Amino acid sequence: MKKITLLLISLLLINQFAEAQLRKSNTREKQKYPKNIILLIGDGMGLEHMYAALIATNNNLNITKCPNVALVKTFSANDFITDSGAAGTAIATGYKTNNGMIGLLSDSTPVPSILKYAEDNGLATGLVATCDITHATPASFVAHVTSRKMNEEIARQFLYTDIDVFIGGGYNSFGKRTDSLNLIDSLLIRHYQVVKTIPEMMEVTEGKMAALLYPVHPPKVTEGRGDMLSLATAKAIDLLDDNKDGFFLMVEGSQIDWGGHDNDLDYIISETIDFDNACGVALEFAANNKETLVIITADHETGGLSLPEGEMTNGKPFGKCSTTDHTATPVPLYSCGPGSDLFHGVIDNTDIFKTIYRLFGFQPLDEPSMK
């Protein structure tokens, strides 16, 4: 009987030890999960765009501080070469769709975005862009439309969300519409502080904010936009960080893509450096915060840029483009912070959503069937 009692005690102690180790393991696992996630998208930014900017800054880009790097496939549901609508939808929702569509499957079934999941789980959310805020990439996180060109409908669908902060151009899509609806009043009723200038934006210290800083698109950084993107990124982070449960923020450097379409290397480089400055703001916050994952990537490559010549010592790359359109070349992804080690190898753009969703620890919802 004593032997049996000792055996039972031993088994009980072993079981308690195992449970304690499991709890410790679970705690360590939880420490890998970020409280906040900042996703920065350089629209059209391929590896060559980043490297041209690296040369131009004498090897001094914030992006290169990220310890984890992956390559991202970008094809859409109906084309080898994606557009920003389909690519933005894949990143935002985890589903492929046809070029030109926003927040829908190919059969027009609406699919929720990571921003929507974040809202539903009590997180603060925000969007920042150097384009009209209703443009394809930011629209992919809030809207469900058959055409990315439906700017006024996309603006109207911002009212269906509970997004806390959005900053960019596009005032006319809300306040000077062809249907005469005044969505500015609708935003005010929903307790948004609506601002139209950068100084007004900087004065906002709490609450919800819609910063519609330009009638349509902001100008180039070299033509008067200045450091709007870095300031907007810092302000969005400051406002969203008031939420004790965490936040999700998407920041787009929109006009790298436009430089690619123009085959204008100076345009590409200046916009990439401007985007990198915003990445620096996010990375500095993450370094101090310790609970923030930063993901830096692109929706596709634009221009078919190559660098056949260059000079490292004088910071002068020579670029050559093969197209004025997008290409199918995989784009880089850089990540830093808790959970960043999950981004590695060659991945699909839909995996960005899936990994963010997993890291936030959200409960799965009913998913639409893929048709």
Two structure tokens written together for 124 = 């603060």
- Phi and psi, residue 297, nearest 5°: -155, -165
Rounded-to-5 percentages of helix, strand, coil across the chain: 40, 20, 35
- Cα separation, 97 vs 76, whole angstroms: 6
Return left, alpha or beta for 182; rule: phi > 0 is left, psi -120 to 50 is alpha, else beta: beta
The active-site residue, picked from 76, 84, 140, 340, is 84
Q: Where are the beta strands (DSSP E) in the chain?
A: 36-42, 68-73, 124-132, 165-169, 192-195, 208-214, 247-253, 292-297, 301-302, 306-311, 316-320, 326-327, 331-336, 345-348
- Cα separation, 241 vs 74, whole angstroms: 31
Tokens 């390559």 sit on residue: 71
Our answer to whether residue 84 is catalytic in this structure is yes
Which one-letter DSSP state was computed for residue 236?
Answer: H
- Cα separation, 129 vs 136, whole angstroms: 11
Looking at the chain, the number of H-run helices and the number of E-run strands are 13, 14
- Cα separation, 8 vs 349, whole angstroms: 53
Q: Which residues contact 70 (CB under 8 A, 6 or more apart)?
A: 332, 333, 335, 343, 344, 345, 346, 347
Is 210 in contact with 166 (CB distance < 8 Å)? yes
Is 142 in contact with 102 (CB distance < 8 Å)? no
What are 195's strand-pairing partners? 211
* 18 CB neighbour count, 10 Å cutoff: 10
Q: Which residues are catalytic?
A: 84
